[in-house]
Structure 1
C-alpha cells in the first residue's frame, strides 16, 4: 500500500480533530439535537466524509473497528481507514469499539455489538451510522439526561425496529451501545441513557 495512493485525511489533524470531537460531544450531551459537522474530507466512496471524520477523530491504533459489508468490500476504504487511524479491523461486530455503517438496511441489530459489562460499560461499541436526513421533530420522542423535559427527533432512513431496539438497549444500562448518526455535514446522537419511544 503506497501512501501516495491514499486519499488525504485532515489538512490540520489537531485542529480539525478537536473541532469534530467538540461537535460529537455536543451531540452526545444533547441527545436528538442536530449539530453542524464540517467533515471536509475527500474520503473514498462509499465512505462518506462524515463517517470518515468520526473515524479519524475517535479511532486510533488501540481501537478495534468494524465495517459493514458495503464498506468492508472496498479496498480503498479499508486502506484509507487503516492508514489514517491505525485501528485494527475486526470481522465480528461484538469485538468492535467502533462500528461504521453505510448501509442502514443491512445494519445488524444493536444486540450484535459489544455491550460492555456492569464493571466496564465503556467496553461497548459506539455505532456510527450514515443517513440521508437528520431533523428536529418527527415521531421519535426522547427523554433522559441532557434533554429538558422531552424532545422529538427524526432520521431517514432508519434501522428496522429502531425504537424497540433502543428500548432494549436502554434497559441494559449501564451496559449497551451508543449511536452516532451522520448526515450531510450534520451529526446527532442517541446515547444509551436516552429513552426513545415512537409517537
Structure 2
C-alpha cells in the first residue's frame, strides 16, 4: 500500500534542530506546570492533529515508542504520517503505549486505562497529548506542587466535565500515574502527575 502525499509531507524542515527546540520547550513546560509554550517550527500534520501536538509527536516518538491514537486520529492519515517521519508503531493496547494522542472533544473516563508505571519504575507510564479548543478563555483552575511557586492559574477551554475527577484519580497513584500535555493550535502546556489541580469559584 503506497503512502499518501499527506503522510510524506508536513514534517520538520530541519529535523534535528527543530526536535531539539521542541524538546527544550517540553522540558521547561514539565518543570513549570501550566506555563504556556508556543511551538515555533512549522509542521503540517494531517487533520485533525494540531500543530503543537504534531510537533511534540515528531519530537518524542521513535521506533521504540508504541503510540496509541484516538479513534478519529486512527482513521486519518496520522498513523502513516507518524510512521513515516518517526518510525513509531501504532498500538491498540493503551497499556502498551508510551505516548497517546487524542483530538479535541475526546472524552476519557480514566487515565488509568493507560500505563501508569510501577512503584519500581514509575517512568514506564504513558504521556497523553490531548488537543483542546484553547488554553485560555475557559474555567479557571489553580495549580500547585513541584515547579510552581505558590499558585499558578490556567483557564483551558474544552476540557471534559469529568476532568478534575479523572486528574485526581491519576494523581492519587503517585509516584505512578500518567502525565498530560494539553495542546491547542501551536500552543501547549504540561501537567505532570505531581501537579495538584483545584477548581476556582465561578
State TM-score, norm by structure 1: 0.93
Q: Which residue of 1 aligns with 2:144?
A: 143
Tell me how large the CA RMSD over aligned residues is.
1.8
Which residue of structure 1 lines up, in the alignment, with residue 65 of structure 2?
Answer: 63
Structure with the higher strand share, 1 or 2 = 1
Question: Within 2, Cα distance between the matches of 1:145 and 1:28?
Answer: 10
- State the 1:16 CA deviation: 0.4
Q: How far apart are residue 180 of structure 1 and its match?
A: 0.4
Matching of residues 106-121 of structure 1 within 5 Å? 106-121=107-122
Give the structure 1 partner of residue 134 of structure 2: 133
Answer whether contact 1:39 1:185 (CA < 8 A) is retained.
no
Unaligned runs of 5+ in 2: none
1:5-37 deviation per Cα after TM superposition (whole angstroms, max 9, x unaligned): 222310000110011111111111111111122
Q: Is the 8 A contact 1:51 1:182 kept in 2?
A: yes
Question: CA contact under 8 A between 1:173 and 1:192: conserved in structure 2?
Answer: yes
Bigger helix share: 1
Q: Are positions 1:122 and 2:131 aligned together?
A: no
For 2:109 and 2:97, locate their aligned partners in 1 and report how far apart those are by CA, in whole Å: 13
1:22 equivalent in alignment to 2:24: yes
Count matched residues: 198
**C-alpha displacement of 1:139:** 2.2
For the residue of structure 2 that corresponds to 1:53, the secondary structure is helix
- Answer yes or no: is the 8 Å Cα contact 1:37–1:186 preserved in 2: yes
Alpha-carbon displacement from aligned partner over 1:60-81 (angstroms, at most 9, x marks no partner): 000010000110011x221101
Aligned match of 2:47: 45
Q: What does residue range 1-199 of structure 1 map to in structure 2 within 5 Å?
A: 1-2=1-2, 5=5, 6-74=8-76, 76-135=77-136, 138-199=139-200
Contact 2:104/2:133, CA 8 A, preserved across alignment = no
Contact 1:137 1:152 in 2 (8 A): no
**Residues of 2 paired with 1:136 and 1:145: CA distance?**
25
Name the CA distance, whole Å, in 1 between partners of 2:90 and 2:63.
Answer: 10
Residue 28 of structure 1 aligns to a residue in which SS? helix
Contact 1:169 1:192 in 2 (8 A): yes
